[in-house]
Amino acid sequence: MNFRLTGLVAATFTPMNGDGSLNLDRIAPMVDYLVDKGLNAVYVCGSTGEGPSMTNEERKETAAAFVSAAAGRLKVVVQVGHSCLGDARALAAHAQQIGADAVAAVAPYYFKPDSVDTLVDCLAEITAGAPQLPFYYYHIPALTGVEADLEAMLRLAAERIPTLVGIKYTATTMHEIQMLRALDGGRFDILHGRDEMLLSALAVGVRGAIGSTYNFAAPLYQRLMTAFDGGDLEEAQRCQARSVAMIREILGTGGQAGLKAAMNLLGFDCGPVRLPLRTLDAEQMSRLEQKLRRAGPFDRP
């Protein structure tokens, strides 16, 4: 299946009301903003979007709202992974029904696959629900606890999953991502998922990246990519250093909740995070805002 994502892909936040219920009306303005900033796609109901903390119905409603708001201006990738494979398959089927452009899925993360063969069996079960949509395996071992020989996985999955196009790779091992990119002459689309290491990923040939901070700092990363492509390594390093400092402040103040709270500084109220994550209190929010304001407008290069 011929499908690739290039440039920046925003791992979107799921906007919520103060009581934690969905606030889908806030999705369209965020999508308009991402289109205006030149992003190429959105990644919905992943870690950033708190997909694992949402009910299946909420995930469907959220995915549908993003597809509707994108209206063909952005590609929409829906993360459908679940500990229950039947639910994951149903979410994949729904993504195809509403007109999403692709699906992705983490491995089951409670009872974990015991081998590459079992992992591929799981992914085949999920993708059977969306036989017309390109599929990315979402590799994020820090959260799923699932490690696998990804070269072996890709080779086996390519034989059994006709919709497989690549991996969303959220880990720090650059030598592995380089190896996966080179596999079978660059057959697979390997997307990088660590914003703090975008420059490192570019250096090993990655051309597409999915991240949380691309929602509110896309121009900074676009400047980084332009500088790298133009051979200005010093400027690319400056941009990446600024990204690292920004993310350090956000995560140091509020972890995952800090990322969501940063959207408030652009005027997009995404609401609280859900337990077991902890929402920032007023003091933490004020401290984060002061730190980011001192650093300058993070939505500009």
Q: Is residue 101 part of a domain?
A: yes
Number of helical (H) and strand (E) elements in the chain, helices listed first: 11, 8
Residue 295's pLDDT band, with cuts at 50, 70 and 90, is low
Catalytic residue among 137, 138, 169, 214: 138
Q: Is residue 24 part of a domain?
A: yes
Count: domains in the chain: 1
DSSP codes of every residue in 252-288: HHHHHHHHHHHGGGGT----PPPTTS----HHHHHHH
**Residue in this structure with the two tokens 């030149």, named with its chain if needed:** 38
Distance between CA atoms of residues 136 and 148, nearest Å: 15
pLDDT at 16: 96
Question: Residues 196, 200, 206, 211: what is their CA dihedral angle, to the nearest 10 degrees?
Answer: 0
pLDDT at 213: 95
- What is this structure's pTM? 0.95
Segments of the chain assigned E as strands: 7-11, 41-44, 75-79, 102-105, 135-139, 164-169, 189-192, 208-211
pLDDT at 174: 93
What does pLDDT average to over the chain? 94
Distance between CA atoms of residues 90 and 129, nearest Å: 6
Q: Is residue 297 part of a domain?
A: no
CATH number at residue 42: 3.20.20.70
Q: Catalytic annotation on 138?
A: yes
Q: Is residue 55 part of a domain?
A: yes
Task: Say whether pLDDT at 195 is over 70.
Answer: yes
- The residue among 12, 55, 54, 17 whose CA lies nearest residue 31 is 12
Catalytic residue among 168, 214, 221, 260: 168
Q: Is residue 198 part of a domain?
A: yes
Q: Is residue 270 part of a domain?
A: no
pLDDT (tens digit per residue) in 207-225: 999 999 999 999 999 999 9
Distance between CA atoms of residues 232 and 292, nearest Å: 26
Q: Is residue 252 part of a domain?
A: no
Q: What is the mean pLDDT of residues 290-294?
A: 77
Q: Is residue 197 part of a domain?
A: yes
Question: 170: burial class by Cβ within 10 Å (0-12, 13-18, 19+)?
Answer: buried
Q: What is the mean pLDDT of residues 74-96?
A: 98
Distance between CA atoms of residues 142 and 121, nearest Å: 22
Q: Which residue range is the domain that position 218 belongs to?
A: 7-229
